[in-house]
């Protein structure tokens, strides 16, 4: 279960149309390496540039998906029985003119990583053969080093390649807040009486309990909720402030003016700012939660009819990851996808495009400090604490 599955509401369709044509346009037969990616997380031009670099002898199909959960479902489906695998192969035969499809890479959110590892849905990457790994800042390397249970481990195997990131933000209607003389700069401002019944919250225990923990001076990844005084009281008070909880429709009420403030994922709010000038956002001063889109390599089931990765397929996988970590690709991802490439933080300021020089996510001291955190795996006992607390709060009147 990942609350981040729906953070890509309001996606544009132009890139999807172009890439679908790219997907279906080739009639060659043979082995095809498929890369399943989150729609709008990779610019179409980047795919075209990569296709030219690898040559016609290496066939790669980029297949967009609108939601992360669709990709995770695909990983689950690829682990099903031999019969199901054979049926899937038949479907791909029709689409690709009897070409053999090798599932090379897929996008996955970092929050899904532990579950995918524990369920044996993905396999470690051969990062040692990818030269640009060293260009990835340390905190991003640490994020994908995990043990077989999916827990962060300093010397663990490398389970993914981060290529884009963002954060939670507080989105708001500037016209409504100005009329009421309301100022919002941090999570604690959500508790203002003047915002009662005017807030959209993400339908996510980790996000809502997490931002309340930040208000109280604690980590998003607090291991024992019972150790935090007044946590339940604060959560109950925030619950009274909320007009609605949602994962994928929390911004529509903000646009319509039914709510004035929303806890939002950055990739959802950024595409709307030019269309709706009264929409603004801030990064909370006490820190935000971070997310990352990561390339992972599917595990091939023993019962699958899919071929194991050939040397050619392995080379394509490594080439694509390496390509995404090149400065030029990192700039394109950051300019055209409403996310930021982690590679940019390793570049000199003069090498960053002018259009990104003032980017708030790239330059934010808050996001680049320890105050902002990834939502890391918790123990089963702690997960139960979060579930119990969430259920209790949501059932209160």
Retrieve residue 183's tokens.
Answer: 């100022």
* The pLDDT of residue 83: 41
Residue spans in the chain of domains classed CATH 3.40.190.10 = 3-165+291-362, 167-289+372-394
| Pairing mode of beta strands 279-282, 161-173 | antiparallel
Retrieve residue 261's tokens.
Answer: 């403030």
Q: Which residue has the tokens 């996955």?
A: 108
Element (H, E) at 200: strand 199-202
Residue closest to 8 by CA, chosen among 255, 267, 204, 206 = 267
User: Which stretches of 274-337 are assigned E, i.e. beta strand?
Assistant: 279-282, 289-298
C-alpha dihedral sign at 191, 197, 199, 202: positive
What is 3-165+291-362's CATH number?
3.40.190.10
What is the C-alpha separation between 212 and 390, in angstroms, rounded?
Answer: 12
Retrieve residue 165's tokens.
Answer: 């990131």
* The pLDDT of residue 68: 87
- Can you state the percent helix, strand and coil of the chain, rounding each to 5? 45, 20, 35
Q: What number of other Cβ atoms are within 10 A of residue 325's Cβ?
A: 24
- Residues in Cβ contact with 292 at an 8 Å cutoff, skipping those fewer than 6 apart: 109, 110, 140, 143, 162, 164, 165, 342, 374
What is 167-289+372-394's CATH number?
3.40.190.10
* The pLDDT of residue 56: 66
Residue closest to 261 by CA, chosen among 357, 342, 350, 189 = 189
C-alpha dihedral sign at 203, 273, 276, 238: positive
Q: Are 290 and 373 a contacting pair, CB within 8 Å?
A: yes
* The pLDDT of residue 126: 87
Angle at 112 between CA 9 and CA 366, to 5 degrees: 70
* The pLDDT of residue 219: 98
Give φ, ψ of 73 to 5 degrees. -60, -35
Give φ, ψ of 35 to 5 degrees. -120, 110
Q: State the number of CA atoms in the 13 A half-sphere of 144 facing the CB.
A: 28
Q: Are 268 and 251 a contacting pair, CB within 8 Å?
A: yes
| Pairing mode of beta strands 100-109, 289-298 | antiparallel
Angle at 16 between CA 11 and CA 19, to 5 degrees: 155
Residue closest to 261 by CA, chosen among 180, 379, 167, 356 = 180
User: Which stretches of 204-331 are assigned E, i.e. beta strand?
Assistant: 242-246, 261-265, 279-282, 289-298
* The pLDDT of residue 27: 43
* The pLDDT of residue 278: 97
Each of the 397 residues of the chain gets a pLDDT tens digit; together they read: 333 434 433 334 344 434 444 443 444 445 678 899 999 999 999 999 998 888 766 688 899 998 888 888 888 887 764 345 445 454 444 444 444 557 789 999 999 999 999 999 999 998 877 889 999 999 999 999 999 999 999 999 999 999 999 999 999 999 999 999 999 999 999 999 999 999 999 999 999 999 999 999 999 999 999 999 999 999 999 999 999 999 989 999 999 999 999 999 999 999 999 999 999 999 999 999 999 999 999 987 555 444 445 667 788 899 999 999 999 999 999 999 999 999 999 898 889 988 898 899 999 999 999 999 999 999 999 999 999 999 999 998 7
What is the C-alpha separation between 269 and 258, in angstroms, rounded?
Answer: 17
């Amino acid at each position: 279960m990942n609350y981040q599955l729906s953070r890509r509401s309001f996606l544009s369709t132009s890139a999807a149309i172009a890439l679908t044509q790219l997907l279906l346009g080739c009639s060659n037969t043979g082995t095809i390496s498929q890369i399943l990616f989150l729609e709008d997380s990779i610019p179409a031009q980047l795919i075209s540039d990569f296709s030219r670099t690898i040559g016609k002898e290496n066939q790669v199909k980029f297949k967009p998906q609108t939601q992360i959960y669709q990709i995770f479902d695909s990983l689950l489906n690829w682990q099903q029985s031999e019969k199901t695998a054979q049926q899937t192969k038949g479907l791909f035969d029709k689409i690709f003119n009897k070409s053999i499809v090798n599932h090379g890479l897929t996008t996955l959110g970092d929050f899904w990583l532990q579950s995918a590892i524990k369920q044996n849905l993905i396999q470690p990457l051969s990062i040692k053969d990818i030269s640009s790994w060293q260009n990835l800042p340390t905190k991003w390397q640490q994020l994908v080093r995990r043990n077989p249970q999916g827990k962060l481990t300093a010397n663990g195997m490398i389970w993914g390649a981060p290529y884009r990131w963002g954060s939670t933000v507080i989105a708001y209607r500037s016209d409504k807040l100005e009329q009421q003389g309301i100022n919002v700069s941090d999570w604690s401002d959500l508790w203002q009486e003047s915002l009662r019944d005017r807030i959209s919250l993400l339908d996510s225990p980790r996000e809502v309990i997490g931002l309340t923990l930040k208000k109280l001076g604690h980590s998003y990844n607090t291991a024992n909720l019972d150790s935090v005084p007044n946590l339940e009281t604060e959560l109950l008070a925030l619950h009274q402030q909320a007009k609605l909880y949602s994962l994928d429709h929390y911004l529509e009420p903000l646009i319509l003016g039914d709510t004035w403030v929303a806890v939002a994922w950055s990739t959802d709010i950024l595409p709307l700012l030019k269309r709706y000038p009264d929409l603004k956002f801030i990064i909370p001063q006490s820190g935000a939660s971070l997310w990352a889109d990561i390339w992972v390599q599917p595990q091939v089931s023993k019962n699958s009819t899919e071929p194991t990765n050939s040397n050619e397929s392995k080379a394509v996988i490594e080439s694509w990851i390496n390509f995404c970590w090149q400065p030029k690709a990192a700039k394109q991802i950051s300019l055209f996808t409403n996310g930021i490439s982690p590679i940019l933080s390793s570049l000199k300021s003069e090498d960053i495009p002018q259009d990104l020089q003032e980017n708030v996510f790239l330059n934010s001291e808050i996001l680049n400090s320890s105050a902002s955190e990834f939502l890391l795996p918790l123990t089963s006992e702690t997960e139960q604490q979060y579930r119990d607390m969430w259920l209790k709060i949501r059932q209160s009147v």
